[in-house]
Amino acid sequence: MTTRILHNPRCSKSREALALLESQGHTIEVVDYLKTPLTLAELQALQQLLAVPVRDMLRSNEEEFLTLNLAAAERSDADLLAALAAHPRLLQRPIVLNKERAVIARPPELALSIL
C-alpha cells in the first residue's frame, strides 16, 4: 500500500508533511480531502486507525465548529463524525496513512512515526 496523505494544499503544516515524506523518498498518494471529501464510513474507519477520540479529529478554530456548536459535551461521536462528513474543512490536517496505521501529523515530523 502506498503511503497516503489527507492534504490541504493551503495549509502550511500539510505542505511541510508532504515535503518531508517526499524528501525521505516515499511514494505518496495525495488526497485533497476538500475536493474529495471522505464518506461517513471512511471517517469511521479513519478514526479507528488513528485510535484517537473523534474530538481530536476536529479543527476547533474553524467557523463551522462554532456555528454547529460542536464543543458541546452532549455531542455524540456519531454527531461529530456526521459534521466531519458534511463539513470536511473541520478535519484535522494533515493525516498520514500507511498500511494499517494513521497519524495526525502535527507537527509534520509525526508522519515519520508510522513509516
Catalytic residues: 11
The β-bridge relationship of strands 95-98 and 101-104 is antiparallel
Name the residue type at position 77.
Answer: D
